[in-house]
Amino acid sequence: MPNRFQKLFTQVPASVWIVLLVVVAWIFYAGISTGGFDIPIERLPWSILVPGFALFSFAHSVVMLGWKRALVLLALCLSLSFTAEFIGQKTGLIFGPYYYTSLLGPKIMGTIPVLIPFAWYMMFYPSYVVTNLLGEGKPVGEQDGTAWILWVSALSALVMTAWDLTMDPIMSYHPCTTGRIDCLPVALDERLIGHPAWVWVNGGEHFGVPRLNYRGWMLTAFAVFLAYRLIERKLDHEPWPGGHSKVMAFLPVLAFGMMAFVDTWLGNPKVGDIHLISPFAMGIPFLFAAFILFARNPDLPLWPHHDPRKPVDS
């Protein structure tokens, strides 16, 4: 793409950003106003959605980070998230007392569904990219001071946990007595609320979810991000050709934004005002990350280019 178009795109007038902000805000507002769509969660193809998003995160991380960094992030996320979930369900100490139903399919050792570690991973990578843009102004982390890594890992955990503020109440909602699901019909009925993916034994303060759950999410996410960022600085950054561009960097940011839109539009209308959370908890980081990427990175090529370290030819 000619350099003149590249420069034109990076010098977008403020009025354009204002119009885009209004459009995004309207989409969020429309989702809040509709009260969401009452779709039983067991009718959604989780066995396709979760692996699909996880595969996208891994493939994109290979292109953006290189094989070594991508594999380390995948291994750390899957292993640490499963460990936290397994210990958490067995003891109730990390997230609070809960158990998984059969909705998400086969379970590892009869406790944690196979999909769950991959569900963690599919949001870890987008949260990593969003946090890098918010903290450093770039899609891939470059600073390596210990104090900085601690701070940005904590910020990453906050960005990651924002997703669960809406997702968890929706996925665990059911109309039965706290801790029981025996009031749900065996046969599915699209006119009724669907079966929950997991059940909180004692309920909780946040739309039926205990506050302890979010402490557990913060600690688990912080542990994964901290471990990865400490290892990351010792590994060479070897992006694939085309990985060094605004369009490529925007894809995981867009995935994060899509989750925000989904949480706003498809949240269950039976769960209070749950739709008010996502536009702020996830929408604000998404908008700032997108703005920083396109408006504050003039040296980053717009489109994927064969040589990831060379600017676009004129």
Chunked into runs of 10 residues, the chain (314 residues) has average pLDDT values of 49 57 65 57 70 92 94 97 96 94 89 96 96 94 89 96 91 76 59 71 90 96 97 91 83 90 68 79 92 85 62 38
Is 159:130 a contact under the CB 8 Å cutoff? yes
Pairing of strands 107-108, 112-113: antiparallel
Residue 211 forms part of a structural domain: yes
Show the tokens assigned to 29.
């507002």
- The dihedral region occupied by 159, where left means phi > 0, alpha psi between -120 and 50, and beta the remainder, is alpha
Gap between the Cα atoms of 10 and 12, Å rounded: 6
Q: Is 262 helix (H, G, I), strand (E, B) or coil?
A: helix
C-alpha of 61 from chain center: 14
Q: Is 33 helix (H, G, I), strand (E, B) or coil?
A: helix
Q: Domain range spanning residue 186?
A: 43-295
Model pLDDT, residue 34: 57
Residue 67 forms part of a structural domain: yes
Residue 14 forms part of a structural domain: no
CA angle (77 as vertex; 227, 80 as ends), nearest 5: 75
Question: Which is it for the CA torsion 220, 248, 47, 167, positive or negative?
Answer: positive
Model pLDDT, residue 26: 63
Instruction: Give the side-chain half-sphere CA count within 13 A for 228.
Output: 31
Number of independent structural domains in the chain: 1
pTM for this structure? 0.84
Show the tokens assigned to 166.
């809406």
C-alpha of 92 from chain center: 24
DSSP one-letter code for 240: P
Residue 20 forms part of a structural domain: no
Residue 112 forms part of a structural domain: yes
Count the residues in the chain. Answer: 314
Q: Is 245 helix (H, G, I), strand (E, B) or coil?
A: coil
Residue 102 forms part of a structural domain: yes
Residue 284 forms part of a structural domain: yes
